[in-house]
Amino acid sequence: MRLTDNQQKFSKSDLLNSHPNISAALLDRTLDNLSKEDGIFIFPNDLLNSPDLDKECKVLESVNQQVKTGNIVGFLGCGQERLTISSRFSNDGNDYFLHYLLQKVLNLNLTSFDVGLSQDEKLYQLLIYLFPKYLQAALRKGLYKEYQHFSYNDSHVKGVMDTARHLKENIPFMGKIAYSTREFSFDNSLMQLIRHTIAFIQSQASSGREILSSLASTRENAAEIVRVTPSYKLSDRSKIIRLNQTKPVRHAYYREYRKLQQLCLMLLSRSKHGLGAQKQKIHGLLFDVAWLWEEYVNTLLPDGFVHPRNKEQSGGISVFSSRTRTVYPDFYSRKLGIVLDAKYKKLELTETGINREDLYQLISYSYILESKTAGLIFPSAEKAVDNDIGKLAGYGALLKKWSIRIPQEAENYDDFAQLMRQSEISFQGVLEQHLY
């Protein structure tokens, strides 16, 4: 069964009949609740550090006897069932739009794109895209270390003597003593798993090498893992996978390492949806396209714009002179006199209409910032939109609707990327007319 985002309604009975297991595990559950499932990846992966991700959002929500989708897309499985939620801009089963957003947001400079992949293989490819981001999130907690047992045979005794090994190796006595110690080490099974995953991705033709070399930080992170795992051997891969399957990271502080461990296991075992020991549990990969859209728009704006971060409490604007309350527009520039809101909504259907909440939000932001222009930026399929919502009575700020056209006629991904660049140039040109 294939669905799209922001699909208003479809029959609940059809979903229950075609996907009974997925329906029982997924229907009306929030992202916050689903994030606790070991087999589900939600990007961005850390909900607490992603304030724009609505933790109360539901992937599938019941409305009477019907079900609707929201801004979440991805791939889900439970047992033998599969459910795909594509972006509404996907075409003939190829979700070029999702791949393009990920590459722009994750700074992946890929020169090729595999075509003709099955749905499972497409998920597998997306997991490789995400590896650098998960690795970066984990390493922010520092290199993972745990106690390891080491055996020595020298004169610097600092552990427990190994009598049997000592008698075997040190007769006649030459001044050495066999002993064992228990020490903290970075060269452990989890770090080895990450090292094997790096080696595996590098072996995936040119795309794997490009993913690991796209950013300087990714190259540095990979090099650091290589440095602290000197005992790495390709022949140990199966053993390392088994060790990590039987010994998952449990400590709450290392939550990011737990997610990275799950991702590595999925990649190395080539299990696609994370099948195996958890066949009957819900598993898959989900993306908040609204978050991706906002971060994508951020890559298109010129210098001088502030992109506030709610969680970090940076870049916000005060509602009152006493600074007792702060709000966070998506983008604004006091110097240029403009405030912008990125909306992943269907706003092209009417020339000027937007819902009341979005309208009041724009009015509030423009008034507080004393902006001359306030605008919504959204994706559209038919044509690029450049419409006036209206000029505010009294204050006089101009409210606008702008869209970035998402091409539907692309024959392949390279063609899609080229057409998207044309849409971006067109949007930037229209925006500049209101900036300078």
Amino acid identity of residue 330, one-letter, is D
DSSP state, residue 192 = H
Say which residues have a Cβ less than 8 Å from residue 375's Cβ, sequence separation at least 6.
338, 339, 340, 341, 362, 399, 400, 401, 402, 434
Please check whether residues 394 and 253 belong to one and the same domain: no
The pLDDT of residue 312 is 56
Please check whether residues 206 and 237 belong to one and the same domain: yes
- Tens of pLDDT, residue by residue over 136-191, are 989 999 999 887 777 778 877 787 787 788 778 888 887 888 778 777 788 899 99
Please check whether residues 54 and 69 belong to one and the same domain: yes
User: DSSP string spanning 307-319?
Assistant: --BTTTTBS-EES
Please check whether residues 312 and 390 belong to one and the same domain: yes
User: Taking a C-beta distance cutoff of 8 angstroms, is the pair 179, 152 a contact?
Assistant: yes
Domain that holds residue 155: 146-185
At 361, list the tokens.
């939000």
Please check whether residues 252 and 306 belong to one and the same domain: no
User: Taking a C-beta distance cutoff of 8 angstroms, is the pair 369, 343 a contact?
Assistant: no
Please check whether residues 43 and 124 belong to one and the same domain: yes
Nearest CA-CA partner of 263 in 123, 146, 413: 123
Nearest CA-CA partner of 225 in 198, 207, 244, 252: 198
Whether 293 maps to a domain, the answer reads no
Please check whether residues 80 and 121 belong to one and the same domain: yes
Integer Cα distance of 405 and 424 in angstroms: 8
Say which residues have a Cβ less than 8 Å from residue 274's Cβ, sequence separation at least 6.
39, 77, 262, 265, 266, 283, 284
Residue ending a domain, among 288, 322, 337, is 288
Whether 17 maps to a domain, the answer reads yes
The pLDDT of residue 305 is 92
The count of structural domains within the chain is 3
The pLDDT of residue 115 is 52
Computed on alpha carbons and rounded to an integer, the radius of gyration of the chain in Å comes to 26
Whether 294 maps to a domain, the answer reads no
Please check whether residues 335 and 386 belong to one and the same domain: yes
Q: How many CB atoms lie within 10 A of CB 320?
A: 9
Considering the entire predicted model, what is its pTM? 0.84
Residue ending a domain, among 245, 264, 288, is 288
Helix (H, G, I), strand (E, B) or coil at 148: strand
Ranges of residues in the chain whose predicted pLDDT is under 50? 47-48, 51, 271-278
Whether 272 maps to a domain, the answer reads yes
The pLDDT of residue 294 is 93
The pLDDT of residue 164 is 82
